[in-house]
Structure 1
Amino acid sequence: MFSFWRNLGLTRAAAVFFSIPRQALGQCSSRTGGCLIPNRESSGSRYNVPPSAEFVARVSGISTMAKLPYRETADGLDAAFIGVPIDTGTSNRPGARFGPRQIRAESALLRAYNSGTRAAPYESLMVADIGDVNVNLYDLKDTCKRITEAYRKILATGCIPLTLGGDHTIAYPILQAVAEKHGPVGLVHVDAHADTSDVVLGERIGHGTPFRRCVEEGLLDCQRVVQIGLRGSGYSADSYEWSRAQGFRVVQVEECWFKSLSPLMSEVRAQMGVGPVYLSFDIDALDPGFAPGTGTPEIAGLTPIQGVEIIRGCRGLNLVGCDLVEVSPPYDTTGNTALTGANLLFEMLCVLPKMKYY
């Protein structure tokens, strides 16, 4: 059964199982989203197009990100969704190991086009869900090695990874692989926390330390790093002194209250320039009133609108990877946090290079 779906692809399998008339496939306008397999080709290859809920029930089928086909590798893909299901680097509430699974489930609500920006990701890029990194839940350091090895293979194919976390520890081993390929990268980091601690409870690797480790290893171009949404109580009077000392631009949440962040993102684009950029979005950047399902919530955060503005403001950047981390389903009783995460990941897909806009 599983090999049948994998071999035929989700859309074609859906047509078989649900007896969709052939005339409903591939003969409608690609602008309407009313077809499952439009005749769109690039370099002789057909793009992967998720099945439309106009023809296939959202609750049916195997749960993949956005109901895309599952692939075992990134070969032949321009972009791929990949899960890293860990929470062994978490300092407070656990549960982020289940984040990728719940984000995929909620992503069934996504459609093929971005109505706000008119981006057409499935007319632009070959995209699939390539499953999860085989993590070691008993050994965080071994998990980090496994993540780096997995991302080396993904990046070697030329594919841009879009990561479903998992706690924020994963940004460190991912950026190790990214910097091996691209050199030091710029970073757009959206978060309630700077994640630049040195040692926590005697450990140097955890979800509060990834960007300190990245700086120490030369993975970041520190003059092209911006941290947006930082807030909360701290261990010192200036919790972000270390970030500023490295050359990071720190945008505390007070600078974001009651305003659009589009002007800020114009400045960020100028700061990032044409070099490679990685986007890391911790769901706790959003106020817990909007996204309660996370491990370390902080009040008075960003709104979902501002989160979307930040991501859409990355359009035109040379994005080489993105992540959405720290969704913890046990604290997400309505599923809204995971749903928000799924939509933010779709927005990330829609600002990747080579995107087509109507």
Structure 2
Amino acid sequence: MAEVKQPASALSSPRFCNMGTFMRMTKVDSAKGLDFAIAGAPFDTASSFRSGSRFGPNAIRNISAMMKPNNVILQVNIMENLKGGDIGDFNVTPGYIHPTYDAIEAGVAGILEENAVPIVLGGDHSITLAELRAVAKKYGPVALVHFDSHSDLCDEVFGQKYNHGTPFRRAIEEGLINPAHSIQIGMRGSLYDPNEHKMAADLGMLLIPAHKVREMGFEALIRTAMERVGDKPVFLTFDIDFVDPAYAPGTGTPEVAGFTSYESLSLVRAIKDMNFVGFDIVEVLPAYDSGEVTAYLAANIVFEYLSILAAKKKD
């Protein structure tokens, strides 16, 4: 394994030099001895509208050169308190979802075997099912915290069981998540099935749509989420279309009336006391991303994940 170092400082090395890893972190071959490993899952074959999120991991990594290692709010330097690096991309198979699932599951399992936390850059939301398969083999059924504008609980899309609209229905069926301790936040927009949100309750999930979040307020939302999850191992999945397209236009299935970038970062930070065992960020689509604002927000969300891990280790 390469020696783990602080990211290069822009005071001595320009940000456009030596890019290709998240925050210009050390490129690592394995997660041995690490607290976390960044990995890419550049797969978008399961997208139902716009394709192109296969280029999301690269876009997030490129703009993440703007990130600095100190989180002022949480008072941590992520690389002083953590050992980690960028392990590169999983070898997905474009056009073939099941071989891709096998590759992602094996890659995440390799990170977990070293007791490191996987942080995966997507890709469309179908990839999360493969991650959960690996996580559940280590921890059993986990609590899911899901920020999104869509519930992704469909039984089928285009007659297919595996799509970016179906991963959490499959995860429940496979016993990968514990619905009684899971929560979905931010769903909104028009629907084909008027009972789609009720479907979550039928499956044992708690779904809080965007308009209810506004009605109850963030403080009550966070309290509800913390009580729901308890001390269970948690997988946090963040679909960038949780954010309003005014702040995150670069995504495949945007929905209006979402949340601001500030609100999104604040919500992730507010659940810092949960027992996280894995994270991902999905559905960044660079071709529709004006000024790289979506990719940069995604990089900042990953930075908040890392800061949470660093704060826990520091404490």
User: Which whole-Å deviations, capped at 9, do the CAs of 1:27-81 have from their partners, x for residues lacking one?
Assistant: xxxxxxxxxxxxxxxxxxxx53112222221111132101100001111111011
Q: Which amino acid aligns with 1:284?
A: D
Q: Which amino acid aligns with 2:117?
A: I
Find the counterpart in structure 1 of residue 286 from structure 2.
Answer: 329
Q: Does 1:62 align with 2:12?
A: no
Q: Which amino acid aligns with 1:181?
A: K
Q: Is the 8 A contact 2:148 2:241 kept in 1?
A: yes
Find the counterpart in structure 2 of residue 147 from structure 1.
Answer: 104
**Gapped regions of structure 2 (runs ≥ 5):** none
Find the counterpart in structure 2 of residue 237 from structure 1.
Answer: 194
2:246 to 289, 292, 304: 289
Q: Which amino acid aligns with 1:82?
A: A
Q: Does 1:280 align with 2:199?
A: no
User: Which whole-Å deviations, capped at 9, do the CAs of 1:303-326 have from their partners, x for residues lacking one?
Assistant: 112211221122111100000000
Q: Which amino acid aligns with 2:211?
A: E
Q: Is the 8 A contact 1:261 1:306 kept in 2?
A: no
Q: Which amino acid aligns with 1:290?
A: Y
Cα distance between partner residues in 2 of 1:147 and 1:278: 15
User: Which whole-Å deviations, capped at 9, do the CAs of 1:186-238 have from their partners, x for residues lacking one?
Assistant: 01100000000001112100100000000001111111111111001111222
Question: Displacement, 1:163?
Answer: 0.8
Q: Which amino acid aligns with 2:204?
A: G
Q: Does 1:216 align with 2:173?
A: yes
Give TM-score scaled by structure 1 length. Answer: 0.84
Structure (1/2) with the larger helix percentage: 2
Q: Does 1:189 align with 2:119?
A: no
SS at match of 1:351: helix
Cα distance between partner residues in 1 of 2:215 and 2:224: 18
Find the counterpart in structure 1 of residue 58 from structure 2.
Answer: 101
Pairing of 1:1-358 with structure 2 (within 5 A): 48-257=5-214, 261-352=218-309, 355=312
Cα distance between partner residues in 2 of 1:357 and 1:332: 36
SS at match of 1:211: helix
Cα distance between partner residues in 2 of 1:261 and 1:66: 30
Q: Is the 8 A contact 1:121 1:355 kept in 2?
A: no
**Gapped regions of structure 1 (runs ≥ 5):** 1-5, 10-46
Rg larger in structure: 1
Cα distance between partner residues in 1 of 2:12 and 2:149: 40
Question: Displacement, 1:345?
Answer: 0.6
Q: Which runs of 4+ in 1 moved over 6 A?
A: none
Q: Is the 8 A contact 2:81 2:310 kept in 1?
A: no
Cα distance between partner residues in 2 of 1:148 and 1:304: 30
Q: Is the 8 A contact 2:251 2:283 kept in 1?
A: yes
User: Which whole-Å deviations, capped at 9, do the CAs of 1:97-132 have from their partners, x for residues lacking one?
Assistant: 000000000100110111122122212210100000
Q: Which amino acid aligns with 2:272?
A: R
SS at match of 2:126: helix
Q: Which amino acid aligns with 1:197?
A: C
Q: Which amino acid aligns with 1:225?
A: S
Find the counterpart in structure 2 of residue 34 from structure 1.
Answer: none
Question: Displacement, 1:354?
Answer: 5.8
Cα distance between partner residues in 1 of 2:237 and 2:257: 20
Give TM-score scaled by structure 2 length. Answer: 0.96
Cα distance between partner residues in 2 of 1:144 and 1:128: 23
Question: Displacement, 1:257?
Answer: 3.2
Cα distance between partner residues in 1 of 2:215 and 2:243: 14
Q: Which amino acid aligns with 1:172?
A: L
Give aligned pairs, total: 315
Q: Is the 8 A contact 1:121 1:356 kept in 2?
A: no
Question: Displacement, 1:259?
Answer: 8.0
Q: Which amino acid aligns with 1:198?
A: D
Q: Is the 8 A contact 1:294 1:331 kept in 2?
A: yes
Q: Which amino acid aligns with 1:128?
A: G
Question: Displacement, 1:164?
Answer: 0.5
Question: Displacement, 1:142?
Answer: 1.1
Cα distance between partner residues in 2 of 1:178 and 1:329: 28
